[in-house]
Structure 1
């Protein structure tokens, strides 16, 4: 669509006189296309790509029912799931209109038609369609950039991303810490893509997933005949990452003897394969990750302190999902869009109760748990929208702004009174308000000195 072209509105209406009336009334704001049956509607939708459709459910061959209209709704959403479809509804057809909404219709407009009401509904649908299209364009742009799959809007995660962008151009080793499932490997890949090593390999190895007797060979490689079964010389993960980035996941589980060998490599940047004698120079950046408390492991003698300081030239802590307000909902929509496309499922979004449940849940398994629940819900959901029950979550009561403000005020006033030893004048100064204002606030919060 050209930049100066009108947005496209499609009317699916078998009453020729009403269709002409509606087109005449709405053509000042939109490019109105008209279809009078199912075949014409599907052909027009593919040809002109409308943003909004106004659909009469009573179409031939079932003008007095809704079977044909509901079939048009289903067909349109099957190849364009983000389409905003507004269905007509008289009192007698309200049950059919509600069924259409359950099946993915955006809104209902009442019969007999009131042009001003319909215009308002269409305007709102057009604005939402434009906003969603812009979000999809931004998501597509992000998927081709260095921060692919890094989905965040919370202040804490935006700070993490800024840190990654600052650190990436240098060659310092980076230690990523955080709970399991917070996205440490995703951040490591983003760091690699933002660095000057982006054209080199990104090689990952999980130090906890490989038995101790095999981990040395996996990391450093081995020469032919070094041990039973070594039928050929094989480079290790460190060599494979030459010129790129080596990601050592779960570094806290690395056996102590291998920690010594890894430390030597980090100091000298040369390795010896298992069973080999020659030294091999390797140019690699190391990014390590752990959900363990390495300082506690150092105190227990299970992790070398000198290795810790080699790995932690720059440390980046990734907060858990419960401490990242807004990110759970954003990530859920991202996963829904990705897996709906992959599975070819005509699921359009989340119901209101699902959104509040996602925002209110603690997510002990972090992003990994969220991704799993959305993927499973897509497989099991019956309708075009995923509900809280599909996610196996209970609908949560979302706090109002008043509740959030009162909670914050209660915490601030209580802390100030505690610091001021219940001296109201001193507490008022700490809070930057007058003494009478603080007394009023204490009364509203039912606080006593």
Structure 2
């Protein structure tokens, strides 16, 4: 008998060669008010995906005629907007990680827990309501290739449930990136809980992360939820995760694997749905090599890596960000928005900002307080260019060695032409009397983005 399709409901494709499990999943999803089709192998699934539109695909990882990864690749190759969740054998961590890296939305381990299945499906189908990245509202600014690549990756990560590991120097915007991933995802209406792992005393860590029951220890006068409970349904951001002591790393690993938390003093565990985003300015891989960070936890956290570019890698974006920050600071202080003098723009471009955007914000707050005219000058910025040994930190008047001096002069002329043309490279090349190809070569050689 033909299956009746409700045009207003979501449609799910279940792929599993075990007919009993496929039927169990089908019945569970139908009770949730969903339309369900079943496929019993990779080829069958790909054919169904080509014939009909689906809102979600649940697929087993290993089947007689192929792997679930092939279905993920098929969906991506055809440009289908279908989130995929894979079902892996119990303890198959490598399979789960491989699926997430390939683009899977999430994963379930066999035997499938129906409560986790329902949570996963609800989260996946909420992707239709995902917030769109708005250029005017986004907390990460910039038009450089480095920042555009970062924003594109953030947009993709927002559609996934995979753990994300954010790397980058201090002040480069790691927490902002994490908030943007959360705010652009299906979890946007749920909590975003940020935790600085290096700021919690070791003897309080377990209670802070997992919560406790009344009487669990001296001073526990009432039940208390931990960070995981507070972030339930949303995102938990673990900043400076490399600072976690080894004993806490073991407990965190178990929570991530089991997706359950036991409060201190409790006898039962609570099932929780939390996405983990972690960050550190250190190299986690080096911490693993040094024995300060568990390798198994590293692989659990570093499913997808997002590297935040340093400000010095973003070329002329420093001026875009500087103007945005200055406008915000002036508004907060109730001051008239000043402009930047030409020497201030030059100083901002030449300085390497070891503290990145956080340092830029501090510099501009100070400059706004010091400025006594309608424009902020280089003197107001108080950037100690002489303290830096790289070529951008040297005075243009220092003519030795000659090639370094010529490079600085050339770079300054190119930056001024780009500023004058609002960073239109074609127009800048005309002003400089260069071909576009020649300008592009010089931009690459001088490190201007």
Mark yes or no: TM-score above 0.5.
Answer: yes
Alignment-derived partner of residue 33 in structure 1: none
Matches within 5 A, 1:334-345: 334-345=324-335
* Residue of 251, 256, 260 corresponding to 1:266: 256
Partner of 1:315: helix, strand, or coil? strand
Matches within 5 A, 1:106-185: 142-143=135-136, 145=137, 147=138, 149-185=139-175
In 2, the alpha carbon distance for the partners of 1:161 and 1:403 equals 30
Partner of 1:359: helix, strand, or coil? helix
* Residue of 372, 389, 410 corresponding to 1:382: 372
After superposition, give the CA deviation of every residue in 1:73-131 in whole Å (9 maximum; x if it has no partner): xxxxxxxxxxxxxxxxxxxxxxxxxxxxxxxxxxxxxxxxxxxxxxxxxxxxxxxxxxx
In 2, the alpha carbon distance for the partners of 1:229 and 1:196 equals 38
Alignment-derived partner of residue 121 in structure 1: none
Per-residue deviation, 1:309 = 0.7
Per-residue deviation, 1:402 = 9.3
Q: Compare CA radii of gyration and give the structure with the larger one.
A: 1
**Structure 2 unmatched ranges of 5 or more:** 1-133, 386-394, 397-407, 416-449
Q: Is the CA contact (8 Å cut-off) linking 2:141 and 2:147 kept in structure 1?
A: no
Residue 226 (structure 1) aligned with residue 216 (structure 2): yes
Per-residue deviation, 1:347 = 3.1
In 2, the alpha carbon distance for the partners of 1:155 and 1:345 equals 33
Per-residue deviation, 1:199 = 0.6
Q: Is the CA contact (8 Å cut-off) linking 1:175 and 1:289 kept in structure 2?
A: yes
Partner of 1:390: helix, strand, or coil? helix
Alignment-derived partner of residue 201 in structure 1: 191
What is the TM-score normalised by the length of structure 2?
A: 0.56
Q: Is the CA contact (8 Å cut-off) linking 1:336 and 1:349 kept in structure 2?
A: no
Q: Is the CA contact (8 Å cut-off) linking 1:357 and 1:394 kept in structure 2?
A: no
In 1, the alpha carbon distance for the partners of 2:329 and 2:198 equals 29
In 1, the alpha carbon distance for the partners of 2:289 and 2:412 equals 47
* Residue of 317, 335, 349 corresponding to 1:359: 349
In 2, the alpha carbon distance for the partners of 1:327 and 1:229 equals 51
* Residue of 296, 307, 318 corresponding to 1:306: 296
What is the TM-score normalised by the length of structure 1?
A: 0.56
Per-residue deviation, 1:387 = 1.0
* Residue of 300, 305, 321 corresponding to 2:311: 321
Runs of 4+ in 1 over 3 A off after TM superposition: 394-405
Alignment coverage as a number of residue pairs: 263
Alignment-derived partner of residue 268 in structure 2: 278
Shift in CA distance, 394/268, structure 1 to aligned 2, threshold 3 Å: closer
Q: Is the CA contact (8 Å cut-off) linking 2:166 and 2:174 kept in structure 1?
A: yes
After superposition, give the CA deviation of every residue in 1:53-82 in whole Å (9 maximum; x if it has no partner): xxxxxxxxxxxxxxxxxxxxxxxxxxxxxx
In 2, the alpha carbon distance for the partners of 1:353 and 1:403 equals 13
Q: Is the CA contact (8 Å cut-off) linking 1:340 and 1:378 kept in structure 2?
A: yes
**Structure 1 unmatched ranges of 5 or more:** 1-140, 406-449
Alignment-derived partner of residue 10 in structure 1: none
Alignment-derived partner of residue 188 in structure 1: 178
Partner of 2:219: helix, strand, or coil? coil
After superposition, give the CA deviation of every residue in 1:37-63 in whole Å (9 maximum; x if it has no partner): xxxxxxxxxxxxxxxxxxxxxxxxxxx
In 2, the alpha carbon distance for the partners of 1:335 and 1:404 equals 25
Partner of 2:379: helix, strand, or coil? coil
Q: Is the CA contact (8 Å cut-off) linking 1:347 and 1:383 kept in structure 2?
A: no
In 2, the alpha carbon distance for the partners of 1:288 and 1:261 equals 16
Q: Is the CA contact (8 Å cut-off) linking 1:348 and 1:384 kept in structure 2?
A: yes
